């Protein structure tokens, strides 16, 4: 009987040991499976993170490339706009320079002693040129030297340039009214007085025969003589006889 219990106890002990071993083995297996599962999950998380980082990097690179392309396009457009603006400014500068050059280019005035003047107005000479002696001025009722021709002509009659020239000055004189002085070259000047409604202005180049204005009412110095053109010629600032240069004389 004692041997029976002894054997039975041994069997129970062995059974318990076996069950304990199985339980431990089961626990160990489960633990291993849990670790493997966690490792797999961590790998999946790492892969997802790497994939996400890769996508983010690719997106950033794509965005950077897009920005670079946009910047290059803007730079190109700005460069083209700058070139176009520069070309326009260059063309405008050329046009202005050309206009200024044209404005300053004028024919050379070269009136010579043997050249001929055309008559500035058709009419009777009321008072002749006279610097060698005095002549009678009816309105003034006195004798005096006369440095010009006083040519009778109706009011509103046209007056033309006797020679080509440049309008040197336009002024108003108490004696000769509106008066135009023209440079005709080589220190020769022509002076037209008793004018109105001028067709020219200072600095203008005037062709021979071109209308410069019209005969005005006479000033108080020529009331008796009547409406007329005051016509004077100078050389080196001194009066000369226009008749010596007028055609037909």
Is residue 147 located within the same domain as residue 214? yes
**From CA 95, how far away is CA 116, in angstroms rounded?**
39
Asked whether residue 151 carries a pLDDT value surpassing 60, the answer given is yes
Asked whether residue 183 carries a pLDDT value surpassing 80, the answer given is yes
Asked whether residue 205 carries a pLDDT value surpassing 70, the answer given is yes
When pLDDT is cut at 50, 70 and 90, the band that residue 12 belongs to is very low
Is residue 140 located within the same domain as residue 92? no
Asked whether residue 201 carries a pLDDT value surpassing 90, the answer given is yes
pLDDT at site 146: 98
Task: Tell me which residue has tokens 């670790």.
Answer: 35
**From CA 39, how far away is CA 33, in angstroms rounded?**
10
Asked whether residue 2 carries a pLDDT value surpassing 50, the answer given is no
Q: Check if the beta carbon of residue 158 is closer than 8 Å to that of residue 214.
A: yes
Average confidence score pLDDT of the chain: 81
Interior CA angle at 225 toward 221 and 226, to 5°?
95
Task: Tell me which residue has tokens 């209308």.
Answer: 211
Q: Check if the beta carbon of residue 206 is closer than 8 Å to that of residue 200.
A: yes
pLDDT at site 57: 60
Q: What would the pLDDT profile of 42-52 be if each residue is shown by its tens digit? A: 666 555 565 55
Q: Is 187 within a domain?
A: yes
Asked whether residue 87 carries a pLDDT value surpassing 90, the answer given is no
CA end-to-end span of the chain, whole Å? 187
Q: Is 240 within a domain?
A: yes
Is residue 54 located within the same domain as residue 5? yes
Is residue 15 located within the same domain as residue 84? yes
Asked whether residue 152 carries a pLDDT value surpassing 50, the answer given is yes
More confident residue, 124 or 16: 124
> What token pair was written down for 151?
């040519």
pLDDT at site 25: 46
Asked whether residue 22 carries a pLDDT value surpassing 50, the answer given is no
Instruction: Please give the residue range of the domain that contains residue 177.
Output: 125-244
Q: Check if the beta carbon of residue 173 is closer than 8 Å to that of residue 157.
A: no
pTM equals: 0.60
Asked whether residue 98 carries a pLDDT value surpassing 60, the answer given is no
Q: What average pLDDT does the segment 32-37 reach?
A: 66
**From CA 45, how far away is CA 36, in angstroms rounded?**
14
Is residue 97 located within the same domain as residue 22? yes
Is residue 100 located within the same domain as residue 133? no
Contacts of 158 (CB under 8 A, 6+ apart): 121, 211, 213, 214, 215
Q: Is 110 within a domain?
A: no
DSSP state of 119: P
Total count of domains within the chain: 2
Is residue 131 located within the same domain as residue 95? no
Q: Is 189 within a domain?
A: yes
Low-confidence winner among 31-40, 102-111, 190-199 (lowest mean pLDDT): 31-40
């Amino acid at each position: 009987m004692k041997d029976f219990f002894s054997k039975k106890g041994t069997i129970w002990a062995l059974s318990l040991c076996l069950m304990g071993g199985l339980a431990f083995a089961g626990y160990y297996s489960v633990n291993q499976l849990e670790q493997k599962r966690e490792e797999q999950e961590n790998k999946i998380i790492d892969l997802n993170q790497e994939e996400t980082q890769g996508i983010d990097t690719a997106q950033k690179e794509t965005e950077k490339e897009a920005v670079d392309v946009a910047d290059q396009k803007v730079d190109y457009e700005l460069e083209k706009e700058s070139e176009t603006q520069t070309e326009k400014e260059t063309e405008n500068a050329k046009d202005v320079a050309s206009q200024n050059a044209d404005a300053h280019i004028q024919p050379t005035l070269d009136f010579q002693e043997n050249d001929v003047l055309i008559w500035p107005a058709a009419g009777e000479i009321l008072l002749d040129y006279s610097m060698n002696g005095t002549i009678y001025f009816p309105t003034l009722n006195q004798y005096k030297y006369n440095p010009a021709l006083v040519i009778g002509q109706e009011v509103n009659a046209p007056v033309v340039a006797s020679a080509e020239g440049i309008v040197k000055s336009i002024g108003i004189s108490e004696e000769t009214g509106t008066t135009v002085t023209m440079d005709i070259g080589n220190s020769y000047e022509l002076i037209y007085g008793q004018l109105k409604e001028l067709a020219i202005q200072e600095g203008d180049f005037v062709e021979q025969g071109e209308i410069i204005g019209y005969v005005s009412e006479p000033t108080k110095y020529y009331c008796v003589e009547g409406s007329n053109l005051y016509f004077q010629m100078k050389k080196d600032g001194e009066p000369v006889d226009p008749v010596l240069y007028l055609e037909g004389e």
